[in-house]
Amino acid sequence: MAGRGDKGNKGSGDGKRLASKGKKHYNKPQDKFRKRKGDPLPSFSEDVRLNKFIANAGICSRREADVLIATGIVEVNGKIITEMGFKVKPGDEVKYDGSIIQSEKKQYVLLNKPRNFITTMSDPQGRKTAFQLVANACKERIYPVGRLDRNTTGILLFTNDGDLAKRLTHPRYEVAKLYHVEAERPIRQEHIEALMAGVQLDDGEYVKADKVEFIPDSKNREVGLEIHSGKNRVIRRMFEALGYEVVKLDRVKFAGLTKKDVPRGTWRHLSEKEVSFLKMV
């Protein structure tokens, strides 16, 4: 990514009208984006509710696990537990009907999602889903960390590590995402600046990009855009607010993870080093 784009179009009458029209979208008080000092970050413990622990082991659903707990046939560290909401700590020994329950192995799978795949478990319309692409990745049930819409490509992380998923999607942790964006026509320099200053979406909220740069040799139609927001379809909505249509959108980086060695439509397991890095985010 490089370059500042062609400023020569600024003098045109069309450009003035666009710039004037755009002001209502991105002229805003800067303190809308400031954090309040002293606001605590949410904490996510490694402790897990007993019913969830049982369900994750594949024994039954959480609701059915509550029944098992209530009947007194579940033990934690040799003690019968009937308390709803009891939490299991790492290293605790959990028994069901006298047998030790093995906790589910944590899995971390990185998919490079193609177009025309939706991010849902199943689809009543019979459309292709991203889950079908990772169905053979592991025996455990894994779920996406966030979503990519049907026509958006790029990296999508799947895991059964609920605490990590919460960390990576919680807005206060500001996990960075990098997108390759292609518009249907050249993007004006003042609109690049507007994306970084803040754009008003159709719901009235302002969202800004952390960094936007033109892709070399793209005739100013393509940019690399880094953002922390996890709002639904946020990139497309930001460009729509400025009068552009996004024709291609590819997520090339998420929380430090990239598409390297993951061809489109394929997946790989994360390394222990990568998982450790994510847990420090």
pLDDT tens profile 212-250: 999 999 999 999 999 999 889 999 999 999 999 999 999
Considering the entire predicted model, what is its pTM?
A: 0.71
CATH code at position 275: 3.30.70.580
Closest CA to 241 of 183, 165, 154: 183
Residues marked active site are found at: 149
3-state secondary structure of 30: helix
**pLDDT band, residue 174 (cuts 50/70/90):** confident
Q: What's the pLDDT score for residue 41?
A: 44
CATH code at position 52: 3.10.290.10
Separation of alpha carbons 170 and 281, rounded Å: 11
Range of the domain at 72: 48-100
**pLDDT band, residue 1 (cuts 50/70/90):** very low
Q: What's the pLDDT score for residue 170?
A: 85
**Counted domains in the chain:** 2
Residue 121 inside a domain? The answer is: yes
Residue 95 inside a domain? The answer is: yes
3-state secondary structure of 122: coil
Residue 218 inside a domain? The answer is: no
Residue type, 253: K
Q: What's the pLDDT score for residue 102?
A: 77
* Average confidence (pLDDT) over 257-267: 96
Res 35 pLDDT > 90: no
Q: What's the pLDDT score for residue 8?
A: 43
